[in-house]
């Protein structure tokens, strides 16, 4: 069996895979939801959009559940701190997600224009709010979250929803929304034809432009203005210890330390920029599947850029840096990580193969004829 330090690194990777999987699989569902009332000009087009994701969106959302379960089991301290510090934001996230299953089930039940238009905008909320909240939350992780552990190791949080809505947090939120809107538009291009597909192409180009700008500005702000976190000393990483056992400092540019130590990491943000531009290029030249793959690579690289900048920090503390949670001290016991490792190794490939099979079965474009022929069964 792996030693404790190795398992800690492996589980950082597992959590990253689950979060990226959620962003990739459910991300284009969010993107389609955002675009639903904007590029869908009539009821048929909006039903085409809904039917492009209708058969698979529930399966995609299980990545979110899996990521939450992994946080609870492998990173219990981060799970507790996040659900305390981001409680109001997470409740808003939860309530916005409610609109998706209800909207899919009830939108087409009544052939009334106002009824369907209302659900279209509620599905828009269900697609727009979660990426915005996730982006704002991640932006605040880079800034540091106002929590600390007292002498009895009780978690105390000092802050609220308003404090999360700072300029950098909102910039990260816009980046997240634009990134997944681009991904959703790329997916729609693979599933639709005609005028709807053309509007999806225009949407991808606009969203890609916003993504590149926000990603570049975020990088400059992190490099020049944001105080990152740096571990000065801590116990042996192969041992179990509490978060307050280490000494952490803050300094401008500290989030670039990993890129300074391992220069090859610069290929990750480079890939992010290149993949966004490639998605635009491939979209213009009508290579739909390749454009979708490029947008997926862009989403992956953007998330990895932030994660690699923060490593090993998971949830830094802006009040007491020594209380910051890292991949070394946020984890469950050695035995727990070892047991869950084999669970993931066995079941994650099965889930991925099953998901690939589902998308192979569901491949192909959705058109108006499909909606007409399935009036009572289509979304």
**Exposure class string for 111-131: b at 16+ Cβ within 10 A, else e:** eeeeebeebbebbbbbbbbbb
Q: pTM of the prediction? A: 0.93
Q: 308-323: per-residue pLDDT in tens? A: 999 999 999 999 999 9
- CA–CA distance from 317 to each of 143, 207, 326 (Å)? 9, 32, 10
How far apart are the C-alpha atoms of 328 and 12, rounded to whole Å?
9
Strands 313-315 and 247-252: unpaired
For residue 64, the model assigns a pLDDT of 87
How far apart are the C-alpha atoms of 227 and 60, rounded to whole Å?
35
In sequence order, which residues have a C-beta less than 8 Å from that of residue 205 and are 6 or more positions away? Answer: 280, 283, 284
How far apart are the C-alpha atoms of 32 and 196, rounded to whole Å?
12
User: Does 371 score more than 90 pLDDT?
Assistant: no
How far apart are the C-alpha atoms of 297 and 235, rounded to whole Å?
37
Q: Say whether 306 sits in a helix, a strand or coil.
A: helix
- Quickly tell me which residue has 């996230």 as its tokens: 93
Q: 73-118: per-residue pLDDT in tens? A: 899 999 888 887 788 888 898 899 889 888 888 888 888 889 999 9
How far apart are the C-alpha atoms of 325 and 78, rounded to whole Å?
7
**Exposure class string for 175-206: b at 16+ Cβ within 10 A, else e:** bbbbbbbbbbbbbbbbbbeeebbebbbebbee
Return mean pLDDT, the chain: 90
Residue 373 vs residue 148, higher pLDDT: 148
Helices (DSSP H) in 225-315: which residue ranges?
257-261, 267-284, 288-310
How far apart are the C-alpha atoms of 129 and 359, rounded to whole Å?
26
Helices (DSSP H) in the chain: which residue ranges?
4-25, 27-39, 43-53, 57-74, 76-85, 87-106, 113-143, 161-164, 167-191, 194-224, 257-261, 267-284, 288-310, 334-361, 368-373
Q: Which range is most confident: 65-69, 239-243, 288-292?
A: 288-292
- The number of angstroms, rounded, from the C-alpha of 11 to the middle of its chain's C-alpha atoms is 18
Q: 266-312: per-residue pLDDT in tens? A: 999 999 999 999 999 999 999 999 999 999 999 999 999 999 999 99
């Amino acid at each position: 069996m792996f030693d404790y330090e190795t398992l800690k690194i492996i589980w950082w990777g597992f959590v990253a895979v689950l979060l990226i999987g959620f962003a990739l699989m459910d991300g284009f569902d969010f993107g389609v939801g955002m675009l639903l009332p904007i590029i869908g000009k009539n009821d048929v087009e909006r039903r085409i959009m809904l039917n492009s994701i209708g058969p698979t969106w529930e399966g995609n959302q299980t990545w979110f559940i899996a990521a939450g379960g992994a946080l609870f089991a492998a990173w219990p301290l981060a799970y507790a701190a996040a659900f305390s510090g981001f409680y109001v934001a997470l409740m808003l996230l939860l309530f916005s997600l409610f609109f998706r299953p209800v909207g899919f089930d009830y939108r087409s039940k009544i052939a009334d224009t106002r009824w369907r238009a209302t659900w279209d905008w509620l599905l828009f909320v269900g697609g727009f709010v979660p990426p915005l909240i996730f982006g704002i939350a991640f932006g605040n992780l880079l800034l540091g979250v106002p929590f600390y552990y007292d002498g009895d190791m009780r978690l105390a949080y000092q802050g609220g929803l308003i404090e999360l809505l700072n300029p950098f947090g909102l910039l990260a939120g816009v980046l997240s929304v634009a990134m997944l809107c681009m991904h959703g538009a790329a997916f729609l291009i693979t599933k639709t034809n005609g005028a709807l597909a053309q509007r999806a192409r225009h949407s991808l180009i606009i969203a890609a432009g916003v993504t590149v700008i926000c990603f570049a500005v975020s990088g400059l702000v992190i490099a020049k203005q944001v105080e990152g976190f740096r571990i000065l000393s801590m116990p042996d990483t192969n041992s179990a210890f509490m978060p307050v056992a280490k000494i952490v400092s803050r300094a401008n540019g500290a989030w670039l330390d990993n890129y300074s130590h391992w220069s090859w990491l610069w290929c990750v943000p480079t890939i992010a920029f290149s993949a966004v531009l490639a998605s635009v290029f491939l979209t213009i030249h009508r290579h739909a599947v390749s454009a979708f793959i490029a947008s997926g690579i862009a989403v992956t690289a953007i998330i990895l850029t932030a994660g690699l900048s923060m490593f090993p920090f998971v949830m830094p503390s802006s009040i007491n840096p020594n209380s910051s949670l890292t991949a070394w001290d946020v984890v469950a016991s050695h035995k727990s990580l070892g047991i869950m490792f084999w669970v993931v190794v066995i079941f994650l490939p099965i889930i991925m193969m099953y998901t690939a099979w589902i998308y192979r079965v569901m491949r192909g474009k959705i058109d108006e004829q499909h909606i007409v022929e399935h009036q009572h069964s289509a979304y």
